[in-house]
Structure 1
Amino acid sequence: MVASPTLFNPTIGHTVQSDQPNQSRKRPKVTLKPSVVDEYSDPQRKKCKILTRIYGSTAMSHKKKHRIDYTKKRLDELRKEILNRLPNNKFFTLLKFNINTHKNKQLSQDIIEQLEALDRLKIPYTFLSSILACYTKLETCNCLLNKILVKCDRSGYTIEPKLQNLLQAYNIKLNSLSSMLSGSGSKAAVAYQNLINTITEKNNLVKLMKLKELGFRIKDLSSMLGGSGRKAAVAYQNLINTITEEDNLVKLMKLKKLGFRIKDLSSILHASGNKAASLYQYLINTATQAENLDKLTQLKESDYSIGDVLRILHQAGKQAARTSRPNQYVLTQ
């Protein structure tokens, strides 16, 4: 006969053979503290606590696995939805391929979430493709998106504060920024940050408001600076400095009296890029020479208008100052 477990022989869990009939053993009654009783007062919580105690980490691991599977399913759905939403052009076709084949799955998922945020925040995908040009590497794309967007803990991504201020307070359009930064390629993130920092400098914001009073819009500036790419920040700084010089402001007023409009000047210098400042200076010097002012005055008094000259010079870009004199000569004969 094997001895039954006693207080001094606590071999609980082993099979006990005895000639005596089995007797139920009652566990000692445990009195819970008030705080513990409150914790178990909710039947559902009591059930969860008991399951956790009985099954230990196994139950929790199943619960956690269920959450992960559900999250993965949602992320797969999001990926499919975003990839289907992207434009069907060369840039985004290559970007889709890189997202689907990249070894770093977390980076691919980050790009998907950022692309979803762009759509939600009403930032067109062309803003991204215009700046990056043909560079579709996920690392390059992610660097630029991290400059445009800021990740919040709960609400996902939002627009970076400086960009948000330019869009709302100064009514600067996204296509104006992308026009200046067009073709930045692998240096897109740095070029973007430099341009945003340059525009939002205190002195430059003052100059921007002064230009607005003269009739310049950011759209006019971006038209002249189009294609500056990686040098957009320097080109922007040089252009606003050149326009706001006192001598050039006097010359500008002379041209405006003859019928020149700001958008006419920006049209002549369209897409001058990082040469916009020097070409603006060359054009305004040429146009305000005494001989050319007389010819412009004659044009204004004849059947020709400044608009006729500008239509001839439209998209002349870098050759505008050189071509303006021959065209004026032809028109005044």
Structure 2
Amino acid sequence: MMEQISLRRAPRIVIVGSLNMDLVVSAERMPRIGETIPGSSIHYVAGGKGANQAVGCARLGADVQMVGAVGNDVFGQRILSEMRQSGVNTDAIAILDDKATGIAAITRTLDDNSIIIVPGANAELTAERVRQYWSVIEQADLLLVQLEIPLDAVKEALQLAREAGVATVLNPAPAQQLPTAILQLADYITPNETEFAQLAEYAEAAGENVWIAALAAWEKTFAQKVVLTRGKQGAAIMLNGQLHTVQAPLVEVVDTTGAGDCLNAAFGFGLASGWDTVKSLRLAVKAASISVRRFGAQAGMPTMSEIESAVDEGESSITSLL
């Protein structure tokens, strides 16, 4: 049985990242280049990787502060309102009069999704703006950042956390090459297979032996832990030269849009709570497997009680995983 969670206070997590309004179009399949096909529905859903992860952490019971920017428009107002309802502190989110709130245009099918992002106000989250909230970062148990904001802001947030001795998780998404100066500041990075292949410069289809060797080499180079997220195959991490894999349970998938953000939120929550890496990763995979059963990135974020009571074929509850 899992030991009872006993905390003197909720873990403090700071998210520095993006806030978007997701315009989600559902269709039977993806259109081909130059093709027009009918869609079945459209939804306006608060999103952005930073906001999704902030809501995910708050749903689990963390004390969450979000650093970011939105436009002074209807989308921005709705995003802030929904984040507050989820328990996220939005005091460090700038409201800009001269920029529109960022949007993500998402095409969703039964099996997959594709996304186009227009940064809007997110592009105005500068290093200087992040620096204004150094006192918020230095009081955190964990900093979680992603790549839908300018890289200077990512680096500044990681640098402030490093100077304050705050643990850091870098979710290197969307995929792009990153300078060594940023990578060296993160205690953990959490790429998916495509993102890690680009970072480590190997062919994604090269086979299992290649990415396992790349994991080992990466940790020697950067002295950080890599959590490789593998979708329905769970997640993997190299510890003391040994590969550890946390398998994902088989579930009926409704929407994969926020699965990675959910995994990052739960992994960060575990680390901020003082859990070891493997236990945190087991929580993360379990949380993500619940999130894909529901529509909407933020709406799919589970609470701790939902995770603890989840029952899958072949296991009595999450207590068998943690």
**TM-score category by the smaller chain?**
under 0.3
Q: TM-score, normalised by structure 1?
A: 0.25
Structure richer in strand, relative to its length: 2
Q: TM-score, normalised by structure 2?
A: 0.25
Structure richer in helix, relative to its length: 1
Higher relative CO (Cα under 8 Å, sequence separation at least 6) belongs to 2
| Larger Rg belongs to | 1
